[in-house]
Amino acid sequence: MSTVILISLSVMVLALCLTFIRLFRGPSLPDRVVALELFSSILVGIIGVVAVAVDVALLLDVAIVVALMGFMTTIGFARFLERGGRRDD
């Protein structure tokens, strides 16, 4: 693999680990929702870089599905909070 791909994957994995920590330590539910959205976005980036590295276009379809799932999860949490769901902020 190229050096650029390895560096970008390393940085994204580090960001994924830091986001994972924020997901569990977040002081409020909205912080956790934002961390979950960021987690899925970073995951889409990692899948995209791996797709370019191994030259498999099918992985881009997987990245699209993960992005849509992350978006729908965020919409679901927003509707939950809007309707008076649990708030601890």
- Say whether pLDDT at 28 is over 80: yes
Which has the higher per-residue pLDDT, 29 or 62?
A: 62
68-85, pLDDT tens digit by residue?
A: 999 999 898 888 888 876
The pLDDT of residue 79 is 86
Q: pTM value?
A: 0.84
Mean pLDDT of 14-39: 89
Mean pLDDT of 16-45: 90
Three-state secondary structure of the chain? CCHHHHHHHHHHHHHHHHHHHHHHHCCCHHHHHHHHHHHHHHHHHHHHHHHHHHCCCHHHHHHHHHHHHHHHHHHHHHHHHHCCCCCCC
Q: How far apart are the first and last CA of the chain?
A: 45
